[in-house]
Amino acid sequence: MLNKGQKPFWLSLDLPLFGITASFSRFSLQFCSKEIYSPAFPMKVLVADRISPIGVELFRAEAGFEVVEAYGSSPEQLLEIVKDVDAIALRSDTRVTAAVVAAAPNLKVVGRAGVGVDNIDIEACTDQGVIVMNTPSGNTLATAELTFTHMLAGTRPIVQAAASMTAGRWDRKLYTGSELNGKTLGILGMGRIGAEVAKRAQAFNMTVLGYDPYLTESRAKTLGVTQSTLDEVIEQADYITVHMPLTKDTKHMIDADAFGRMKDGVRIFNCARGGIIDEAALVEALKSGKVAAAGLDVYEDEPPAADSPLRSIANLVLTPHLGASTQEAQENVGIDVAKQMIEALKGEMVRNALNMPSLDPKALEQLAPYMTLGEKLGTFSQQLAPDGVEKITIRYFGKITELDTLPLTYAIQRGYLREISENVNDVNAPKKIERLGIETEQVKSSAHAEFTELVEVQVSCKGGKTRTIGGTLVGKGQTPRIVTIDGHGVEVNTNATLLVLKNKDVPGIVGFIGVTLGEDNVNIANMSLSRDQGEGFAVSVFELDSVPSETAAKKITDHAAIEKYRVIKL
């Protein structure tokens, strides 16, 4: 906001924007272009895979929601069904491919009842502005308990002993096991599931090492876990369990080299994602005795081939991806996904989104005025910049830094793209910016010399040129205002039609503009003027009540002293 003693003064800047020919259109605050936050009903929800009946009923209970259950649809049938749906709820059977997304022009939300989203083309969804969400908490306990079941089965060979009993044998001496007590467990990934596994390990008197790039020292202390590096876990743990997503960085994280550095007789388990452990390397480590026992619930290819070497190793326990397969977990994720999707479709909280910030209504309410400002700053900065923008730097000053500014950054990106790209919203704006080869940087600072709160957008272009525009909220009504352009103070109404001129600094220009616009019945609401003594040019910004006609525009641009003419309608 403006400081108490600060007054607006005449604009002084050097604007290189006049060669731009893109058209301008009025802003309307719309958090997502598909109106997720300005919902239009009725909405059609496709339940593509079987989820909890309670979840389905939650959809049906909402006024304005039509529910279609289409279980077991073929890919061809799915392409027909999605033509008019607003949301898709699914588990792991249905695949939301790029073709499905393209066939669903109304699609706003895809909700996965579960954690893994390997069956959803997130990039295609993001390109089309579709929110992808999962339900990471619904099956947390089920997966943690299955992990510990595998750990116990790898410690005491009960699976093998039970099989021998079924075969009519009494091989008591063959199945001597070990104990968890006093052993060191290394957990790769300290999210919800990893944290629950740690609790259970501590109950068995195990020492727990935790590796996670996002694990803080305070969080590790709260969990009773020793914060460790990946190398420390690999080299020191007696037991290792994996609870990380499969990414390019985690694929084959546990490979032959890692096995070579482990303790002899280590035990390793994966109930997270297939591919994190190199299965071929695991087979060799089990055969050599380097790994005493292992357990897998997930695989690089599911199901593993009938002749997979994994199936023939005695000290390896395999389960068919049972992580979330409890009655409680199945019900929980079905209810969770329905609640989350309903909230998002109704313009309320967005939770567990994988391709946009998760927002609660209170935070969204606090950010709303700033997001209006941010979108307009984004659009203005795009018109202000010359060609060849390489970087957008967004700086936040003052109390706004105490808020989660990521949604505001998205609003600025959305505004920047508004006139140069179609179907832009908070989901796809970051990706579209990235594809233009533009880097985005967000910087927070607690103070500013002139303003108690300021949002500043700087665009950096080829050749080192930069252009900067800043804005704040003014008064009790928190009215958005543009207050700096290239470091020069100004107070510009963001709801105005702006006429920006660059002209030779000669007498009579202001009078000429006033007369020309008056003859055109265009009223001037405000005006800022700056004289550039060095180059002999003047820059003026007129706030207008309407857009000048083509006749008036031609008269102005034909004037010998007028160098550049631009009408901007925010």
Structure tokens at 536: 């002999």
Q: Do domains 1-30+357-490 and 496-570 have the same CATH topology?
A: no
Say which CATH topology domain 1-30+357-490 has.
60s Ribosomal Protein L30; Chain: A; (3.30.1330)
What mean pLDDT is predicted for residues 67-77? 95
Q: Is 433 helix (H, G, I), strand (E, B) or coil?
A: helix
**Which residues, 6 or more positions from 425, have their beta carbon under 8 angstroms from its beta carbon?**
30, 31, 32, 33, 34, 36, 129, 414
In sequence order, what DSSP letters do the residues of 31-88 get, joined into one string?
A: SSTT-TTS--S-EEEEE-S---HHHHHHHHHSTTEEEEE-TT--HHHHHHHGGG-SEE
User: Would you tell me how many other CB atoms lie within 10 Å of the CB of residue 203?
Assistant: 10
The least confident of 56-60, 136-140, 188-192, 306-310 is 136-140
The full set of domain ranges for the chain reads 1-30+357-490, 44-137+329-345, 140-318, 496-570
Question: How far is the CA of 93 from the CAs of 16, 71, 96, 99, 327, in angstroms?
Answer: 54, 9, 10, 16, 18
- Assign 360 a pLDDT band (cuts: 50, 70, 90): low
The number of C-alpha atoms within 13 Å of 141 and in the hemisphere containing its C-beta is 9
Q: How far apart are CA 195 and CA 216, in angstroms?
A: 13
Average pLDDT, the chain: 86
For the stretch 470-509, pLDDT in tens is 999 988 878 898 888 777 777 888 888 888 787 888 899 9
Average pLDDT over residues 181-207: 95
**What are the tens digits of pLDDT across the range 2-41?**
443 333 323 323 333 322 222 222 222 233 434 344 566 7
Handedness of CA 27, 28, 29, 33 (dihedral sign): negative
Q: Give the number of C-alpha atoms closer than 13 A to the C-alpha of residue 189, restricted to the C-beta side.
A: 24
Q: What is the pLDDT of residue 22?
A: 28
Distance CA 441, CA 433 (A): 12
Q: H-helix or E-strand containing 513?
A: helix 509-519
pLDDT at residue 203 greater than cutoff 80: yes
| Per-residue confidence band for 535, with pLDDT thresholds at 50, 70 and 90 | low
Nearest partner of 393 among 445, 319, 324, 334, judged by Cα: 445
Which pLDDT score, from 0 to 100, does residue 12 have? 28
What pLDDT is attached to residue 347? 78
In this prediction, residue 534 carries a pLDDT of 61
Strands 43-47 and 87-90: parallel
For domain 496-570, the CATH architecture is 2-Layer Sandwich (3.30)
- Does position 217 have pLDDT exceeding 90, yes or no? no
What angle (nearest 5°) sits at the alpha carbon of residue 310, between those of residues 306 and 314? 115
Q: How far apart are CA 482 and CA 380, in angstroms?
A: 9
CA triple 369-373-377, angle to 5 deg: 165
| Domain made up of 44-137+329-345: CATH architecture | 3-Layer(aba) Sandwich (3.40)
What are 498-519's pLDDT values in tens digits? 887 878 888 999 999 999 999 9
Yes or no: say if 552 and 562 are a contact pair by the CB < 8 Å rule.
Answer: no
Q: Taking residues 448-459, what's their average pLDDT?
A: 88
Mean pLDDT for the stretch of residues 332-340: 94
| pLDDT score at 111 | 96
CATH of domain 140-318: 3.40.50.720
Catalytic residues: 273, 302, 321
Cα–Cα distance between 371 and 409 in angstroms, integer?
Answer: 8
pTM, two decimal places: 0.64
The 10s digit of each residue's pLDDT in 279-305 is 999 999 999 999 999 999 999 999 999
